[in-house]
Amino acid sequence: MDKYINNKHQIAYNSLELGFALTDLDKKTRYFGTDVPIFHSEIHVIKVIAEHPGIHVGGLADILGVTKGSVSEILKKLERKALVIKEVDDLNLSRYSLSLSEKGKKAHENHMLYHSIVNNMVEDELQNASEQELEFLSNFLSNLINKVKFFNENFDE
């Protein structure tokens, strides 16, 4: 019985360590094949612009779940780094249309390569897992994520 409890504790500890390792991986400033450092929040703005060429600030804010002011601040930095192009929208002259510069496209391509490498790490670890094991692990992780989010939102120190 003790071994069973110890295994559960080890899984909890490993889950926490994985969360920290992924956070460290994600928070690190990277260049993504360019000559400028790109922060986590910036590369995800670049990703949304790549997926929605011509998007405007409001649409970007909606997709990212942040304020227009936050998006505007990040866009200023991305423009200074020559990663994003902001042009007056021909259909609505009171807003800007956003697109990626060639350097921004390169950063996006390298960011997607980065995700592909991480995804391959997971696939390699799961290559011999049965369909039942994959279903269990997927459900376990989803449920754990939901419980941690609930705890985070409701735990008052």
Q: pLDDT by residue (tens digit) across 67-95?
A: 999 999 999 999 999 999 999 888 777 78
The pTM score is: 0.81
Domain ranges of the chain: 2-154
Residue 1 pLDDT class (50, 70, 90 cuts) = low
The full DSSP string for 25-45 is: HHHS-B-TTSSS-B-HHHHHH
* CATH class held by domain 2-154: mainly alpha
Give 23-32's long-range contacts (Cβ < 8 A, gap of 24+): 25/118, 30/114, 32/106, 32/107, 32/108, 32/110, 32/111, 32/114
Q: pLDDT by residue (tens digit) across 19-64?
A: 999 888 888 999 999 999 999 999 999 999 999 999 999 999 999 9
Q: Distance (Å, rounded) from C-alpha 60 to C-alpha 75?
A: 10
